[in-house]
């Protein structure tokens, strides 16, 4: 069954080509290493990526803990990111007071 997998623990030197080769036995259809978008580390790996493979269950079972470029991979099923990342994980806006609450200024 085709699955999109999260791959963590990547060495900064690991390329998409090496990641694709590591998962080639499982029918890779897509491969992406996530990189920094700005700043002094722009273009450098964040140490994780995603692979879409045809044999997802086998890849998950066999590649979690496998070694690549001197690092041990953490492989899990990828989850869809919901909403705006900057606000999606917050529990509330720190500038708001609860209704009926007192201001302690």
Q: Look at residue 80 in the predicted model and tell me its pLDDT.
A: 84
Residue 22 contacts residue 66 (beta carbons within 8 Å): yes
Q: Look at residue 52 in the predicted model and tell me its pLDDT.
A: 98
CATH of 3-79, one of 3.50.50.60, 3.30.70.330, 3.40.50.360, 3.30.420.40: 3.30.70.330
Q: Name the average pLDDT for the chain.
A: 86
Q: Look at residue 101 in the predicted model and tell me its pLDDT.
A: 53
Share of the chain above pLDDT 90, in %: 74
CA distance 7 to 23: 11
CA distance 64 to 61: 6
Instruction: Give 31-82 pLDDT, tens digit per residue.
Output: 999 999 999 999 999 999 999 999 999 999 999 999 999 999 999 999 987 6
pLDDT range class, residue 100, cuts 50, 70, 90: low
- Specify the higher pLDDT residue, 82 or 18: 18
- Specify the higher pLDDT residue, 100 or 32: 32
Beta partners for residue 102, in sequence order: none
Residue 57 contacts residue 3 (beta carbons within 8 Å): yes
Spans of all domains in the chain: 3-79
């Amino acid at each position: 069954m085709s699955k999109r997998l999260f791959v963590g623990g990547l060495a900064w030197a690991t390329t998409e080509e090496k990641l694709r080769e590591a998962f080639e036995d499982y029918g890779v259809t897509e491969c992406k290493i996530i990189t920094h978008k700005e700043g002094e580390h722009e273009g450098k790996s964040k140490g994780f990526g995603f692979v879409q493979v045809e044999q997802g269950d086998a890849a998950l079972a066999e590649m979690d803990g496998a070694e690549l470029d001197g690092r041990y991979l953490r492989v899990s099923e990828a989850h869809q990111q919901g909403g705006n990342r900057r606000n999606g994980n917050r529990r509330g806006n720190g500038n708001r007071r609860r209704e009926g609450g007192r201001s302690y200024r």
